[in-house]
């Protein structure tokens, strides 16, 4: 019996119903991300997209449309927090950004249709998904890889494979589970397919569970370090979420005093250095006397270095940099890291000279941020005379594989400085914390997180949340973590994994194009034939098994 007979013929569905189904598939996938975190729904959403693809019409036409609608549904659920960016215009801006990001899923839909005739198509589809994530994580303007499948897998068995395959590899496996589910559903009555599907799930789940026991132990004699985390809190909402810049710095000064008072009375461990978040001062403390006095007073009271998140003037006129400064108690700054991955139209304006006269609203961005060029490894000196190499990742940089790998390579401890004040009480806060957990598992490193007023705390090397602060509060604590230098396979070979995924996907796409060209030459054109015929192995046709994919319209 053919799949059309077994499952109904989606080609007969009204076009509007199919569109709704594709939007729903994307929305279901979106629910796998934080804050709902229903990760099994991701498998259902991916499978639904595959089942709803139209295999009879051209891949450029129906494939793009199917992927685009799926992307719209996914973005509407998982990226709706973008609405808070600009008061009044936020919903319109969010809709535009979601519609733009959906274009990449339109291209993914084309790719999925193109490789579906190949033997082993679930594997090639999964690799194409990985290639799509690689692309939209890099273009345009550095990309925005915020909703990669892996970030919803933080509590699934697949997470155990992160130190081996990294973010990209586990994302492909997550897609593979979904495409294999679709492969089985197309022949749900065939026991062999069910057995094969269950076997793959068992193998992946078993490997994932085994991988969770893998650890990177610190080298003998490296010891540990105690980091004092400060979350100072801010006032204001929306794009003005940082409130009055001086009050934000004063809040972090006050909470540092609170932390050190508790440390000196033995309530918390005495820190070796103190971690302030990104934008703990929005005024350059090296040029503004009042800000410098506040930071200097904090470092003198602490008596230990402070890693200060600051907005620095320059390097040119009307330019700025988001930086981390190693501020010593003697008021010297001996190390600095400049944020590398900037948010377009949030921290800087592409084509600034051309766009500013046309869109006055962009004036809200302020001075043009300039990206750093060096990896986020800060070498600072502690009070006992020893040095420590701190890997620093600033806010959205968590979503960029190369930036994270380079921050970990050569560092001994890993910290995240973030300012999420604009996104208070939105899913963005918890999505970023989930990404941080993924990075901890990938590197098998503890991560200390300091934010201005959202979610700070400590994540252990297995991705478990040891402590998590509340939003919109002041908080501080000290965390003692081991120094680690060894790298996981994912940190060492992550770039190679990306290369293999992309080469596999490109090879599959070229093979898919070749199959289409051969099919087109062999198919006689007729006056009423406007689409390509469905093709399948001759043996399947003779046995009346139908095609591997249902027809959908």
Give catalytic residue positions.
Answer: 278, 339, 395
Question: 348 with 320: CB under 8 angstroms?
Answer: no
Peptide bond into 315 cis (omega under 30): yes
Torsion (CA) 396, 400, 406, 409 in degrees, nearest 10: 90
Do strands 273-275 and 224-231 pair parallel, antiparallel, or not at all (unpaired)? parallel
CA distances from residue 38 to 34, 45, 49, 277 in whole angstroms, order as listed: 8, 12, 18, 30
Q: Are 456 and 470 in contact (CB under 8 A)?
A: no
Three-state DSSP state, 458: strand
Q: Is 61 helix (H, G, I), strand (E, B) or coil?
A: helix
* Residues found in the chain: 553
| 3 state SS of 287 | coil
End-to-end Cα separation, the chain, in angstroms: 21
Whose CA is closest to 112, among 165, 202, 166, 176?
176
CA distance 476 to 496: 39
Whether the CB-CB separation of 416 and 429 falls below 8 Å is answered with no
CB neighbours (10 Å) of residue 96?
Answer: 12
Q: Report d(CA 404, CA 206) in Å as an integer.
A: 28
Give 277's DSSP letter: P
Residue 104 is encoded by which pair of tokens?
């990449």
Q: Which two tokens stand for residue 349?
A: 């304006």
Give dist(CA 7, CA 550) in Å, integer: 8
The residues, any chain, with a CB within 8 Å of residue 369's CB and separated by 6 or more, are 319, 320, 321, 322, 339, 342, 347, 348
d(CA 108, CA 385): 54
């Amino acid at each position: 019996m053919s799949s059309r007979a077994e499952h109904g013929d989606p080609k007969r569905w009204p076009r509007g119903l199919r569109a709704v189904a594709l939007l729903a598939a994307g929305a279901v996938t979106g629910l796998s991300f934080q804050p709902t975190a229903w990760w099994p729904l991701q498998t259902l959403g991916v499978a639904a997209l595959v089942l709803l693809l139209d295999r009879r019409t051209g891949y450029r036409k129906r494939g793009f449309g199917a992927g685009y609608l799926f992307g719209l549904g996914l973005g509407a659920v998982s990226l709706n927090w973008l609405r808070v960016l600009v008061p009044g215009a936020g919903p319109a801006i969010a809709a535009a950004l979601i519609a733009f990001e959906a274009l990449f899923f339109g291209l993914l839909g084309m790719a999925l249709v193109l490789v579906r005739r190949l033997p082993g198509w679930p594997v090639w589809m999964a690799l194409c998904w990985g290639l799509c994530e690689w692309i939209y994580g890099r273009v345009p303007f550095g990309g925005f890889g915020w909703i990669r499948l892996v970030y919803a897998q933080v509590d699934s068995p697949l997470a155990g494979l992160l130190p081996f395959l990294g973010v990209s590899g586990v994302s492909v496996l997550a897609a593979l589970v979904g495409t294999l589910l679709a492969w089985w559903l197309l022949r749900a009555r065939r026991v062999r397919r069910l057995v094969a599907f269950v076997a793959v799930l068992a193998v992946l789940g078993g490997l994932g569970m085994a991988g969770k026991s893998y650890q990177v132990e610190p080298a003998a004699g490296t010891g540990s370090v105690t980091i004092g985390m400060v979350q100072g809190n801010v006032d204001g909402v929306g794009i003005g979420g940082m409130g009055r810049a001086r009050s934000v710095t004063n809040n972090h000064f006050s909470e540092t005093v609170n932390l050190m008072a508790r440390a000196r009375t033995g309530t918390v461990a005495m820190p070796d250095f103190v971690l302030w978040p990104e934008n703990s001062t929005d005024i350059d403390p090296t040029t503004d006397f009042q800000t410098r006095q506040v930071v200097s007073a904090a470092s003198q009271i602490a008596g230990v270095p402070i890693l200060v998140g600051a907005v620095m003037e320059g390097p040119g006129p009307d330019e700025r940099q988001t930086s981390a400064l190693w501020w010593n108690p003697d008021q010297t700054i001996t190390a600095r890291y400049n944020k590398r991955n900037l948010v377009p139209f949030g921290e800087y304006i592409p084509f600034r000279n051309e766009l500013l006269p046309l869109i006055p609203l962009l004036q809200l961005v302020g001075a043009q941020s300039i990206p750093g060029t060096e990896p986020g490894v800060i070498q600072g000196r502690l009070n006992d005379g020893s040095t420590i190499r701190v890997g620093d990742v600033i806010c959205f940089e968590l979503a960029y594989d190369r930036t994270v790998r380079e921050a970990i390579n050569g560092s001994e401890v890993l910290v995240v400085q973030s300012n999420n004040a604009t996104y208070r009480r939105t899913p963005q806060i918890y999505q970023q914390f989930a990404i941080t957990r993924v990075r901890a598992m990938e590197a098998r490193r503890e991560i200390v997180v300091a934010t201005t007023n959202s979610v700070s705390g400590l994540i252990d090397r297995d991705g478990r949340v040891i402590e998590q602060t509340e939003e919109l509060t002041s908080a501080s604590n000290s965390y003692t973590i081991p120094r680690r230098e060894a790298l996981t396979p994912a940190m060492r070979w992550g770039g190679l994994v990306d290369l293999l995924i992309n080469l596999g996907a490109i090879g599959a796409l070229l093979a898919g194009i070749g199959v289409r060209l051969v099919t087109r030459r062999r198919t006689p054109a007729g006056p009423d034939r406007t689409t390509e015929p469905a093709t399948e192995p001759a043996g399947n046709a003779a046995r009346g098994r139908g095609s591997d994919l249902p027809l959908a319209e």
